[in-house]
Amino acid sequence: MNFADELLGWYHDNKRDLPWRNTTDAYTIWLSEIILQQTRVEQGKPYFYRFLERFPTVSSFAAATEDEVLKLWQGLGYYSRGRNMLKTAQQVQNEYNGIFPTDYHVLLKLKGIGEYTAAAISSFSANQPHAVVDGNVYRVLARYFGIDEPINSGKAKKTFQDLANSLINKKNPALHNQAMMEFGAMLCKPKNPGCGICPVHLNCYAFKHNATTTLPVKLKTVKSRERFFNYFLVTDSHRILMNKRGDNDIWANMYDLPMLETSELLPVNELLNSQEARQAFGENATIEHIYPTAKHILTHQKLFVRLIKLQNSTVKLEQKWFYTEVENLSELALPKIIFIFLKNIFNL
């Protein structure tokens, strides 16, 4: 029995019962694929159910506002995925009459859908023979065949895609792709892979050469950038001062609090006495409370987030600052770190 057949046998006996595996509906599969990008299955599942309940069809998704989508997405990170989903749904509604495409080449024309996602949707919805190569598949192929090409290099994409295409079961590519991905997720894991119970370990390069810890190879990424966010909590009776973020930088178009970014974590008194703070909050603003600084890790960025509660402020409203009732905070799409701060303060 060859490598691919062994994996199919393993998958038959060990696969997880996941909701998106029980359908060939391209829209549902698309939802799951985008939500699960850079997200663990157990973390992504509740979001999948929430989105499918709120938007049962691509047409209902296309009619949503960006605020609605980002609110549902809150906590998943990589918020550009949520914004792109809305654009994709609107494109499908406008250009394909609300019928989600299943053809690989047509899918590539949609916003936010690359080769991986197009292969997954076309394979799982229409059984088209396009190999799905995600992080799990990269790992399985690198270890089994002993490929030391860094998986995040430009050359690797073609190397691994060509190999995956050559292995695919043409009669049932959907099942083959699911088996490859599941095998990497459950058995050939990044750390402590289950080599002892692996059905293909005897012919696995990494097993034979004790290389499971060195394969796959990955180039070192850009050093993480440190940023210091000083948020100001300003209340007016039952209202709280909020900020609508712009299109650029992280958390685009979401809601947070008025903030000053500094090059380091300055003493709070020095920060409040800065010209920028005095212009925004008035000469008489004083510090009521300083909450512990929280660290928030993003891709290539490490945020140090501090929340400072002010009193006696006379706010000069900026273009994107506005007051809202505290009870309305749960309706706004907030970055996770801000949501946690406000949840603890106001018992949201």
Amino acid at position 154, single letter: G
Strand partners, 232: 308
**Token digits of residue 57:** 């069809």
Give me the catalytic one of 6, 33, 264, 288. Answer: 33
- The C-alpha atoms of residue 184 and residue 133 are separated, in whole angstroms, by 11
Rounded to the nearest 10 degrees, the angle between the axes of helix 173-186 and helix 3-14 is 70
Degrees to nearest 5, angle at CA 28 with 80 and 129: 95
**Closest by CA position to 243, among listed 134, 148, 323, 157:** 323
DSSP 200-228: TGGG-HHHHTT-TTT-S--PPPPPPEEEE
Active site residue 33: yes
Residue carrying structure tokens 């663990």: 40
- The C-alpha atoms of residue 143 and residue 204 are separated, in whole angstroms, by 7
**Closest by CA position to 333, among listed 25, 10, 66, 1:** 66
Amino acid at position 277, single letter: A
Dihedral of the alpha carbons of 339, 345, 346, 347, in degrees to the nearest 10: 80
- The C-alpha atoms of residue 45 and residue 39 are separated, in whole angstroms, by 10
Question: Catalytic site residues?
Answer: 33
